[in-house]
Amino acid sequence: MSAVTTVRGEEELFARTAHLFATASEVTCAARDLNTFAAPRHPSSGMVQETKPKVRKLYRPAMLLNPSSAQHVRAVAAHGAQVRVTRDDINETIIIDRRFAILAGDLCDGQRSYGVVTEPAVVQNVQSLFDAAWRSATDLAVYDAQHADLTALAPRVLELLASGCKDETAARALGLGVRTYRRRVAELMTTLDANSRFQAGARAHELGLL
């Protein structure tokens, strides 16, 4: 394998990297959602490994608004992975044994490209970026406790925003004061990385929340 190899689609990625996951002792992963490294075809899924690797996973808060995604994340944690949540922008990547890095590229014609990197200096730089984000991130259990109310209300708030009803009507439907409702909307927009309610709706559609 050359220092940087570009592959297209998860099938090719799986074919080229399956052996690395099979013998990995440490795997770190940063992703905005499950679409980048899809759970059913994640290179480490369904494989019998010689030793159980140390796994660290870093996700964005929006992942936890989707019940199915949240269930996946919590199942990963229940199976021994360390999981943290970060509000910072992250480079979507998987790092294996601090020797190989898989960098997610853009979608093109419905297929994502990936760069498989073996150059030690580049891999070390990617690892350093991940470690910095990891240190400032919040443990999943702590994040859940801190944002339980928002997570529970998010689906209904998004429905009310999509309906176009006034804040006063939406707040009344949720049994909240208008100021509290608007605060929840602002928190939700932050979680979705949205600068407007319209953008929040678009992002919610991308994540399958609406």
Identity of residue 193: D
Position 32 scores a pLDDT of 84
State whether 87 and 176 are in the same domain.
no
Position 101 scores a pLDDT of 95
Q: What is d(CA 152, CA 64) in angstroms, rounded to the nearest whole number? A: 10
Order of strands across the sheet that contains 138-139? 4-8, 111-117, 100-108, 93-96, 26-31, 54-59, 82-85, 138-139
Q: What is d(CA 117, CA 5) in angstroms, rounded to the nearest whole number? A: 7
pLDDT of residue 185 exceeding 60, the answer is yes
User: Which residue range forms the structural domain that includes residue 29?
Assistant: 4-140
Tokens at 12, concatenated: 């090719």
State whether 84 and 163 are in the same domain.
no
pLDDT of residue 21 exceeding 70, the answer is yes
Tokens at 55, concatenated: 């796994």
Q: What is d(CA 105, CA 7) in angstroms, rounded to the nearest whole number? A: 10
pLDDT digits (tens, 9 = 90+) for 125-159: 999 999 999 999 999 999 999 988 888 888 899 88
Q: What is the pTM of this model?
A: 0.81
* Phi, psi for residue 173 in degrees, rounded to 5: -65, -30
Q: What is d(CA 139, CA 173) in angstroms, rounded to the nearest whole number? A: 33
pLDDT of residue 177 exceeding 90, the answer is yes
CATH number at residue 198: 1.10.10.10
* DSSP per-residue letters across 92-140: -EEEETTTEEEEEEEEETTEEEEEEE--HHHHHHHHHHHHHHHHHSEEH
CATH number at residue 13: 3.30.870.10
pLDDT of residue 1 exceeding 60, the answer is no
140, 166, 189: which is the final residue of a domain? 140
Q: What is d(CA 85, CA 57) in angstroms, rounded to the nearest whole number? A: 9
Answer yes or no: are the C-beta atoms of 140 and 51 closer than 8 Å: no
Greater confidence (108 vs 139) lies with 139
Tell which residue, 91, 88, 104, has the closest CA to residue 36. Answer: 104
Alpha-carbon torsion angle 145, 149, 150, 156, nearest 10? 140
State whether 57 and 114 are in the same domain.
yes
Identity of residue 18: A
Q: What is d(CA 34, CA 37) in angstroms, rounded to the nearest whole number? A: 6
The pLDDT of 60-87, averaged and rounded, is 90
Domain tally, the chain: 2
State whether 117 and 58 are in the same domain.
yes
